[in-house]
């Protein structure tokens, strides 16, 4: 691309680099035609700063469109390219998967080509912006666009829709546990799971005892959640022990996300079990949300997946926390 000042007599067909006042505003990005040049001349403008393509260059909009094409797929909608920008939007609710290494490789090819995305595993709603391609200069070499397309390949950006399913909520109570806490817990869990496409089909309240929990896990459901009357402190505590007593296994105890440290996961007859941390009684974001969102999008959540949540896992403090974090 050629860029710089040019006499008006040579500027026809060039792209105006900066807006100019000439009997009104002549906006940057305008492809200068005879009428535009006449307006400029009448306003006393002798030269303008313009951009002109070299052989093989693509316009900013065409370059943005071609790169956005590489990101399009099921559940993704490409917006119309304009001013060198093309956006990718979600056509439904779900979880975004981003191949970070491919995006980084694409962004390293040429400083004039940029791609910004949401974080991997971000939860999104219908119509939400997932990624934006921005071409900074008015023209870029077609070879650069081809190289970026190769770096991205296919599938650098995906939307995994929430699939829905039937959920049972098992709540335990002690003799002095308030009914109001049970009602609040059910309402918040219902809102949490229905927000990601699940249906809370069944709610049972049982004594805070291992055998009672085990009996409550014998159910035909796609997901079982346990919200205990007290926090789970060990794999041998009541709720995880109930999973074992039901013939299942505890696959993970604890997570490096705060709030949410005391979550546990298990399986009973291939049905996922999630032992919710106490913070799940609040609607505020916590580690349980990250686990439930992935399950809701059809992803397995492994021990390694949870271990990797530590970076970025320090979430916003909850105002009603019994023991708040220390401050300076």
Q: Residue 277 sits in a domain of what CATH number? A: 3.40.980.10
Total domains in the chain come to: 3
With cut-offs at 50, 70 and 90, classify the pLDDT of residue 323: low
Summarize pLDDT for 282-298 with one digit per residue, the tens.
Answer: 999 999 999 999 999 99
Summarize pLDDT for 177-221 with one digit per residue, the tens.
Answer: 999 999 999 999 999 999 999 999 999 999 999 999 999 999 999
Residue at 143 is within a domain: yes
170 and 300 share a domain? yes
171 and 296 share a domain? yes
Among the listed residues 89, 95, 56, the one whose alpha carbon sits nearest the alpha carbon of residue 72: 89
Residue at 1 is within a domain: no
Residue at 324 is within a domain: no
Residue at 9 is within a domain: no
Pair type for strands 271-275 and 223-227: parallel
pLDDT value at residue 317: 76
Q: What are the distances in angstroms from CA 86 to CA 48, 81, 141, 195, 279?
A: 28, 4, 18, 29, 40
Residue at 320 is within a domain: no
Domain of residue 93, residue span = 57-161
pLDDT value at residue 324: 64
168/101 Cα distance (integer angstroms) = 38
179 and 264 share a domain? yes
CATH number assigned to the domain comprising residue 126: 3.90.1170
Residue at 21 is within a domain: yes
82/213 Cα distance (integer angstroms) = 58
Summarize pLDDT for 146-176 with one digit per residue, the tens.
Answer: 999 999 998 999 999 999 999 999 999 999 9
pLDDT value at residue 131: 98
278 and 169 share a domain? yes
- Whether 8 shows a pLDDT value over 70: the answer reads yes
Mean pLDDT (the chain) is 96
Residue at 65 is within a domain: yes
């Amino acid at each position: 691309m050629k860029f710089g000042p040019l006499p008006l007599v040579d500027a026809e067909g060039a792209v105006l680099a900066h807006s100019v006042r000439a009997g009104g505003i002549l906006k940057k990005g305008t492809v200068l035609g005879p009428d535009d040049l006449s307006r400029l001349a009448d306003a006393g403008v002798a030269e303008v700063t313009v951009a002109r393509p070299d052989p093989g260059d693509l316009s900013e909009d065409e370059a943005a469109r071609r790169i956005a094409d590489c990101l399009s797929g099921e559940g993704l909608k490409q917006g119309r390219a304009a001013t060198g920008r093309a956006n990718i939007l979600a056509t439904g609710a779900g979880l975004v998967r981003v191949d970070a290494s491919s995006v980084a490789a694409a962004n390293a090819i040429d400083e004039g080509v940029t791609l910004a995305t949401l974080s991997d595993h971000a939860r999104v709603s219908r119509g939400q912006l997932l990624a934006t391609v921005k071409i900074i200069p008015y023209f870029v070499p077609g070879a650069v666009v081809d190289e970026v397309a190769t770096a991205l390949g296919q599938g650098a950006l995906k939307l995994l829709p929430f699939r829905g399913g039937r959920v049972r909520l098992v709540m335990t109570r002690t003799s002095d546990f308030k009914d109001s806490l049970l009602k609040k817990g059910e309402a918040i869990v219902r809102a949490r799971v229905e927000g990601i496409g699940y249906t809370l089909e069944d709610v049972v309240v049982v004594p805070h005892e291992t055998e009672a929990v085990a009996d409550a896990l014998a159910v035909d459901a796609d997901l079982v959640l346990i919200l205990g009357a007290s926090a789970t402190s060990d794999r041998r505590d009541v709720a995880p022990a109930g999973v074992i007593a039901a013939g299942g296994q505890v696959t993970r105890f604890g997570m490096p996300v705060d709030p949410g440290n005391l979550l546990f996961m298990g399986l009973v007859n291939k049905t996922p079990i999630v032992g919710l941390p106490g913070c799940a009684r609040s609607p505020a974001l916590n580690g349980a949300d990250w686990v439930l969102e992935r399950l809701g999008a059809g992803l397995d959540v492994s021990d390694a997946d949870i271990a990797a949540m530590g970076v970025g896992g320090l979430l916003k403090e909850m105002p009603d926390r019994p023991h708040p974090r220390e401050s300076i």
